[in-house]
Structure 1
Amino acid sequence: MMYLILLTGVTLLCLGAPCLAQVRSFPPGVLRTECRARLFWIWVDKTYIGSSPWQLEALNDTGFADVMQTNRAAQCGYTITRDVYSNVEIRISFLGCWVKNKNDNQFDVKLQFRVNQGGRIGLFPVSMSCTPSETWDVREIVCEENYMEVSVTRIIPTVILNILSLSGTVGGISQRWQVWFNNSLGAIPAKEAISRGYGVNATVTRVLLRAPYNTPESQVVEVGNFHLDVVPSNMLYSQTLLRIIVDTTIACPRDPPVFTASALSWLSPVVLSPLISGEVTDKTFAMGINGIIQNSTLIEEYKYILNHNFTTVDVTIPFGAPGGFVESDILNNSYVTTYSIHLILQRNWLGINEDDSTTHTSYKPVVAPMIVQMAVFLDHTSKENRYFNVSLGNFYSDVNLKSFIIHKLPLTLDRLPLRQMTTMTSINPNNTYVFYLTVPFSDPLVDQRYLGGLKRRYRLYVTYVLTLVTKNKDFTYTDVVECVIEDVVPPIINSYCAGDRLIIDLTRGNMDYYWLPYLRELPLTNALITSQNITVRNSEAALYIEVPYTSVGLVYEVVKLAGSLVRLDFTLRNNQTLETEISHSFNCPLPTRTLLCLANGTMIVVVDSSVTKPVFNAQKAHLRDPNCTPQEATNERALFNFAAYTCGTTRRFDGDYLVYENEVTFDRQVLLPGQPIISRDSSYRLTVRCRYPIRDTLWLGGQYKSGAIEQRLAVTQAKVLRRRARTHVAELKIAKDENFTAFYQNGDFPVSVQPTDVLYFQADVQTPEPITALKDCWATTFPGQDGITRWDLIVDGCDAETETFSTEVQTSPDWSSRFKVKIHDAPTSQLFIHCKVLICDATSQGQSCPKTCNQTELLMDKSAAPLSTEVVSAGPIQIRAHHNGVVYQNVAEKTPSWTWMLSLGLAVISALTVGAIFLTVRLFTK
């Protein structure tokens, strides 16, 4: 038991003793020491100690270690801090604890750093010896970070020097010394003041008082608009026949610096009135950085400011000035900096007596608040050089240029010369950096827009990608510059008619290479050229286009028997915005053809009785619906102009085509019944047929018969091409259920529904990145999107509800747009659904097409316009008659069975009679 107690005691003893520590030396370059003014200065490199726990210990002659921590360090004149680069910095007053003083002319100190490095204790001893570079002033006051100190020269007879000469520890001061704090305490012994946390000492020539900040005896005194920390005190020495009183009042400025956007200002009063009992003369001021007083040449060179007037001393330092340290960071894609600097302000003044001189030194470490450095983007573009020249600054040396993004295309620095772009870096007088970029107007990444007349606007969208080297963080800055120049050579458009073709002959300028040719609303693509038999010859100097009269995109302004007037609308549109830059329209007269099937669902038919044998009166011809008579007619010719879903037109499906068919009929007139059947009119029937492909194409055809003569019209072909985005293909699908788990395929059309069913629609894009938003949706009875009769389903993104239909726009978990349509009162037996869809980019900074009613036009700003707008269609949808197999009968009066049998027999007899009469008339006609 005694053995365990002994072992435990030895262990506890060694924990606090050097027996467990190893004495080591700092590696070369880690430790720096220097004597400055009245201070020992010590630096230890931050990378060596790192985050290891450590403490500073002062050693006396016997090797006793006094740990210098917060309160003890302030009492003893030790300041443990960090310099602007975060290295350990220690400042020790020459009059501090455990400093060996040789007649106030030489000062020696022994220290050791106790460092815990991974559980191993290292002792790093440091010894310094300093001699003051200047003689002591009568009164010297130091305002350090953690304490205030005053030392005053004492004039004492030689006979008592041995009594008053005290060195060594603070606790060794003679009890004849007392401290009077000018308050209710009265005079207290020096040792009692030491117990209160003060440093009190008397050396061979000086009396010392050191006070931590915010002691109970301290006061805050206002001097004008400023505040001072003041400890009013005197030190008294009493002995028989001898009494010495030394004024040891201390006053230190306490107001924090004032920060502006570009500098910090440390302001304090010119006269520290608690320290002055009378008038002062010869006031001088000096400023220093990091413990070194600066001369006027350096102050001017570094753009420091040291000014004073009757009331205020102003020390102003521009942010980033030499002597300070700028620490940078990236927050929310912004470049932010924190500027830190250690300032010194030294005052010297004389009292009324020449030997009443005071040196007052204040140390002020300043760390400015974090500042967002607003990048300075400047446009130096010269129109004459036809180059964009832009710059971005002003950054400190820890920022490097990494790359660019120009009009959404990333460009590394090594790729710039390949595009005749250049970059360079320049340094401002304040040591900040500016990054320049030049881009030729002719580069395809430069946006060009025709402004009318001879003006063209060049616009550069540029993003700087920069990196913070010290922390390996990237950030960006985006801006736009533009330049307007009168350098446009517009194209020259000539147009003329040649037979059955309309011709555009365009002489190129210098802008139309960036424009797309359109025939009305259709882009002149290879698919349109091939399908419509359009002739195109394209060269660097000219564009030649021949458009047949049957092509889509033509407008039949006048359709008469004498001839038709056809208009071609030709436009050149911006290849990015699709806005019309130049438009040109012209008309050509053409003979009216036998059959025309227009893309909007209009059928135009001309019948000519002069080619039949015998002839008939064309004025009396009609369509299947006898009420549909000619729009214009003579005895020999008749013109019919009607919508394909009217006048008794029938519809049927033939593979992927929807066929509309009607007949032009001339009925022979017969005499009254009972009289001989005599007629001068021949029998005539002309079958006209238009074939519309369900998707994309429209086939036209016609056929007529006249007696024994049959003539087939030439079948012509015209394609109606849906305008599509260049990189996305949209489609409108019909779902089989409300969960959108299955959709109708091509072979399922026409889709057959009941008059009160609910239909479910989904607009898709065949690439995963973009998303869609519904702009408008409507229903027609014809595949054409611009049918004469239409019913609105969605208007400007909002649900539409009428007596016929009601619509509900639904949200989708993916990129699709969905809506459902409830049929209330079906207006027709066949429907086609069309939607205008906005296609937007889901990858643009988290922004997308809105899906809120009335906001489909409010996408974002100029950088967030839709990638494209498409019109998509689905159908046909056939609506069945609502009988459900139920036979309706009058319950109150049931009809006998013999009644309907008699009616059926009479109907059969009547049909046979009519057939016989019809056959007889035909025989006589022939």
Structure 2
Amino acid sequence: MSLLIVSKSFTLQEIQASLSSWCFVSAGFVQSECRDRYLWIHVASGQTPRFEAVDGTEVHSIGEQLASRCGYTISIFKMDGYTTFRASYYSCFTQNQNDEVFTFRFNVLVSDRGGRWTSQSVSAVCPGLTWTHREIICEEDYMEVRANSTIEIRCTSIVHLQLFHNTAAQKTASLTWQLMFRRSDGQVSSMSVTEAQRWGYSLTTTAQRVVLRSPYKQPHAEVTMVGNHEWKSTVSLFFKQKLVMPMMHLLIHPDTGSFDGDRLLWDIPRVLTPLVGEGARFESRSFSLGVESVLLDEPTMTSRGFNMVQRGGMIQISVPFGAEGGYRKSLVVNNMYKEAYTIFLLYEHVFSLLYEDGSNIDTRHRMLRVLDTPLVCRPPFSLNRKTVDGGKEFNVYLGNIPTDVILEDVWINGKRLPMSETSQQGFNISPVVHTNGSRSYEFRLPFEDENVHWMVSRSCFTSYGVVEYSIDINFTLTILPQRNSYNYHTFITARVFNRCKYIILFSTVGIDHEPLTQQLVAQRGYRLYNDSHRSTLEVPVFSVGYTYEEINLSNFYATFKLLLRDSKSLEVQTSTSKRCLFRTEDMIVCSADGTMTVVTTPSSTWPTVQPEKTTLLDPTCKPKETDRARALFEFKLDSCGTRAMVQLSS
């Protein structure tokens, strides 16, 4: 591979003018900038752009294979409408002036919606840096190692220095550069630089550096364990210098992290054994973390909630979901809002190898990782708050609405409310924005609104009754800017006057065949109030005497029956039934016909259990109905594995 030398020297003003530039093209926005050890190009376009490297009069289209061999990255870290391109200072067609000035020329091709391509030229002149003895960068699709080419013996290695006096190795290496592959079982094979280039490897020498580059997923790679993590060691490079044969390894990156439900986690071994030679003392200089290839200072890391701590032999990095610098992606799946979070991290470890003769090797090891979460469900929830203004209106709280979601429509009992005219229509919707950017809504609707359903339940003993108001609400929530919508449904009731009470004006009242006495009231948990004119009976929902109907996971009806008997003959004169609607909670109900109904919440256990996968003792007895948290079973008492028990009283 030839070395390109620029033919002119650049002034400081010319270099500074090229550090950052931007331009518009007809189909997008292109920005470029000289950054630490690479040129950064950012393209905002609805269509995926293409890139070309310009080398004098030649133009090279940059595809996946050329990119990994030549030191280019067309980032796989792409969010909607954005593509990032990074070019190493030592990439193939970059002009290098004595490792001090690097000149880039590219064409960025962007397509509009009509399929017309527009080309924008990007040129940059970037100043060199203060390089450490050896530098390792693990990019997204390749690894690049660089080392001083003029350092004696130990300092000649790139990733891991070993002095080889092994006769077999010396015979295998020629006077020219050789790429050699050594397996853990000791077997060694070699190839020339020309042959290695056909495999995708790249070896370049400059005025002061030796640069070796390798794509990932090479057939010569071998998995090794460093701590609990898999790493792939690939290439060993031998060359002769002063009758000594130094060697350098390439070490490929491990996994891409994990997610614990709240934070993204990335564990990295503090010391990678292949990077540390024998006979040297290891000393860490600094650990740093960055976002999108830019290192952050400590105050910025803290303000964003990033953590980087050393525990034992590991460096543990964690990033909270939604932290600044990353991207949130939201979508609707099966009428459920889901979102994922992605962030592009840069980890840097600078360390030294100190030798007994006073020499040292400084190493800068960088790793770039795209960390992302799986799709996380963000279901809304609602609270039926107590009615206000003397019980004259509904007050509903709708919560857990993400930052990119708005409440667009509200449907009450099948009729759409005009959102733009809330004050004129009598109902009110008030948004509440929280500190984390999420929001909630407070919805108020008067009972007398024409869209509210109501029903009067009268007692046969009195003209008084209970008015039950109900609303079936469907909230339409919309993600911006893509305008994908999903719905949240809830059913709410409110009762005014006596809620499931009886006003009794007669002296002889019975429940089934039992007379209503103070003893029966105490035994069954009823509440009976008497004054000179009437008696009031309050019956809790799960008291003896109720029958239960139409049980589902939302609500059920409970009916309580009273009998009026003649005080002398005890003949039934009349009867009345009270039917009340209740919201379903965890419950066990046994009906007179021998049917058992059970509502339970298996998801409240740890670990959680999916309701739809539960059964009774008989595995063929599955839930009649489930939702995200609960299951409803309905079965006969002599089925599904029930067991009869007899208890003898003394």
TM-score under structure 2 length normalisation: 0.63
SS in 1 for 2:40: strand
Among candidates 304, 310, 313, match of residue 308 of structure 1? 310
The aligned amino acid for 1:250 is: L
Q: Give the equivalent residue in structure 1 for 2:66.
A: 72
- 1:84·1:342 contact (CA, 8 Å) conserved in 2? no
Q: Match of 1:372?
A: 377
Q: Does 1:400 align with 2:409?
A: no
**1:106 matched to which residue of 2?**
101
CA shift for structure 1 position 101:
0.8
Aligned twin of 2:342: 340
Task: String of CA shifts for 1:241-285, please: whole Å, max 9, x gaps.
Answer: x45655432223321321233332122222111111244212532
Separation in structure 2 between the aligned mates of residue 860 and residue 131 of structure 1, nearest angstrom = 64
Deviates more, 1:81-90 or 1:436-445: 436-445
2:33 is matched with which residue? 34
- Is it true that 1:155 corresponds to 2:183 in the alignment? no
Residues 25 and 473 of structure 1, relative CA distance in 2, 3 Å threshold: closer
Contact 1:175 1:190 in 2 (8 A): no
User: 1:202–1:208: 8 Å Cα contact kept in structure 2?
Assistant: yes
How many Å separate the matches in 2 of 1:860 and 1:152? 63
Partner of 1:430: 436
Select which of 80, 89, 97 maps to 2:92.
97
Deviations 1:720-766 (A, max 9, x none): xxxxxxxxxxxxxxxxxxxxxxxxxxxxxxxxxxxxxxxxxxxxxxx
Alpha-carbon distance change, 472 to 275 in structure 1, aligned in 2, over 3 angstroms: same
**Residues 407 and 446, structure 1, Cα contact 8 Å, conserved in 2:** no
Aligned length: 480
Cα 1:351–1:483 change in 2 (3 A) is: farther
Question: What is the 5 A alignment of 1:177-256?
Answer: 177-182=177-182, 184-186=187-189, 188-237=191-240, 242-243=242-243, 245-256=245-256
* 2:501 is equivalent to residue 473 of structure 1: no
CA contact (8 A) 1:447 1:460 kept: no
1:282 is aligned to 2:288: no
Q: Note the alpha carbon deviations across 1:16-64, whole angstroms, 9 max, x for none.
A: xxxxxxxx983597110012211111111123xx26xx64221212x11
- Deviation at 1:223? 1.1
Provide closer, same or farther for how the CA distance between residues 402 and 120 of structure 1 changes in structure 2, counting only shifts above 3 A.
closer
1:141/1:149 contact within 8 Å kept: yes
The alpha-carbon distance between structure 1 residues 489 and 477, as it changes in their structure 2 partners (threshold 3 A), is closer
- 8 Å CA contact 1:379, 1:390 repeated in 2: yes
The SS at the match of 1:397 is coil
Q: How does 1:379-390 map to 2 (within 5 A)?
A: 381=386, 386=391, 389-390=395-396
Give the Å deviation of 1:336. 1.5
Shift of 1:318: 2.3
Q: In the alignment, is the contact (CA less than 8 A) between 1:490 and 1:508 conserved in 2?
A: no
1:231 aligned partner, one-letter code: T
- Contact 1:85–1:325 at 8 Å: present in 2 too? no
SS at the partner of 2:417?
A: strand
Q: Is the 8 A contact 2:474 2:487 kept in 1?
A: yes
Q: Secondary structure at the match of 2:300?
A: helix
Cα distance change, pair 25–572 in 1 and its aligned pair in 2 (3 A): closer
* Counterpart residue identity of residue 98, structure 2: N
| Runs of 5+ consecutive residues of structure 1 not aligned to the other structure | 1-23, 158-173, 496-506, 510-554, 558-565, 578-857, 862-926
Partner of 2:7 in structure 1?
A: none
Say which of 463, 467, 473 aligns to 2:474. Answer: 463
Q: Distance in 2 between matches of 1:301 and 1:454?
A: 59
For residues 104 and 256 of structure 2, what CA distance do their matches in structure 1 show? 33
CA distance in 2, matches of 1:299, 1:388: 45
Deviation for aligned residue 1:404 = 2.2
Describe the shift of the 1:300–1:229 C-alpha distance in structure 2 as closer, same or farther (beyond 3 A).
Answer: same
Q: How far does residue 219 in structure 1 lie from its aligned partner after superposition?
A: 2.0
Partners of 1:859 and 1:268 in 2: CA distance = 46
Q: Which amino acid aligns with 1:219?
A: E
* Residue 323 (1) aligns with residue 348 (2): no
Q: Partners of 2:179 and 2:95 in 1: how far apart?
A: 24
- SS of 2:309's equivalent? strand
Q: Deviation of residue 332 (structure 1)?
A: 1.4
Indicate how the Cα distance of structure 1 residues 465 and 204 shifts in structure 2: closer, same or farther if over 3 A, else same: same
Q: Which residue identity lines up with residue 397 of structure 1 in the other structure?
A: T
What corresponds to 2:122 in structure 1? Answer: 126
Question: C-alpha displacement at 1:345, in angstroms?
Answer: 1.4
Any conservation in 2 of the 1:178–1:237 contact (CA below 8 Å)?
no
Q: Residues 382, 310 of structure 1: CA spacing in aligned structure 2 closer, same or farther, 3 A cutoff?
A: farther
SS at match of 1:374: coil
CA positional deviation for 1:226: 0.7
- The answer to whether the aligner puts 1:268 opposite 2:268 as a matched pair is yes
Greater shift in the superposed pair: 470-479 or 325-334: 470-479
> TM-score normalized by structure 1?
0.45
How far, CA to CA, are the matches of 1:470 and 1:396 in structure 2?
A: 13
The residue type paired with residue 227 of structure 2 is G
Conservation of the 8 A alpha-carbon contact between 2:282 and 2:352:
yes
**Whole-Å Cα distance in 2 between the matches of residues 230 and 340 of structure 1?**
28
Aligned partners of 2:255, 2:457: CA distance in 1, in Å?
A: 59
- Partners of 2:325 and 2:625 in 1: how far apart? 51
Change in 2 beyond 3 A, CA 1:314/1:58:
same
1:428-577 superposed matches below 5 A: 428-439=434-445, 444-445=452-453, 461-480=472-491, 569=574
For residue 110 of structure 1, give the secondary structure of its aligned residue in structure 2.
Answer: strand
Deviations 1:650-707 (A, max 9, x none): xxxxxxxxxxxxxxxxxxxxxxxxxxxxxxxxxxxxxxxxxxxxxxxxxxxxxxxxxx
Q: Secondary structure at the match of 1:280?
A: strand
* 8 Å Cα contact 1:58-1:98 kept in structure 2: yes
Instruction: Find the aligned partners of 1:291 and 1:573 in 2 and give their Cα distance.
Output: 70
Equivalence map 1:159-170=2 (5 Å): none
What SS does structure 1 have at the residue aligned with 2:219? coil
Q: Which has the higher contact order (CA 8 A, sep 6+)?
A: 2
Query: Does residue 356 of the first structure (1) align with residue 379 of the second (2)?
Result: no
- Aligned partners of 1:385, 1:215: CA distance in 2, in Å? 75
Superposition RMSD in Å: 4.8
Q: Among all aligned residue pairs of Structure 1 and Structure 2, give the percentage whose two residues are the same amino acid.
A: 25
Counterpart contact for 1:424–1:437, Cα < 8 Å:
yes
For residues 318 and 450 of structure 1, the distance between their equivalents in structure 2, rounded to whole angstroms, comes to 57
Q: Give the residue type in structure 2 aligned to 1:296.
A: E
Kept in 2, the 8 Å contact 1:230–1:251? The answer is yes
Return the offset for 1:508: 13
Query: What's the offset of the Cα at 1:448?
Result: 8.6
Question: 3-state DSSP class of the match of 1:254?
Answer: coil
Q: Secondary structure at the match of 1:356?
A: strand
Q: Deviations over 1:499-537 (max 9, x none)?
A: xxxxxxxx999xxxxxxxxxxxxxxxxxxxxxxxxxxxx
Match of 2:644 in 1: none
Measure, in 2, the Cα distance between the counterparts of 1:352 and 1:450: 93
> Secondary structure of the equivalent of 1:73?
helix
Distance 1:236 1:490 in 2: 96
CA separation of 1:860 and 1:424: change in aligned 2, threshold 3 A: same
CA distance in 2 between partners of 1:93 and 1:214 (Å): 20
Q: 2:210, 2:625 → 1: CA distance?
A: 78
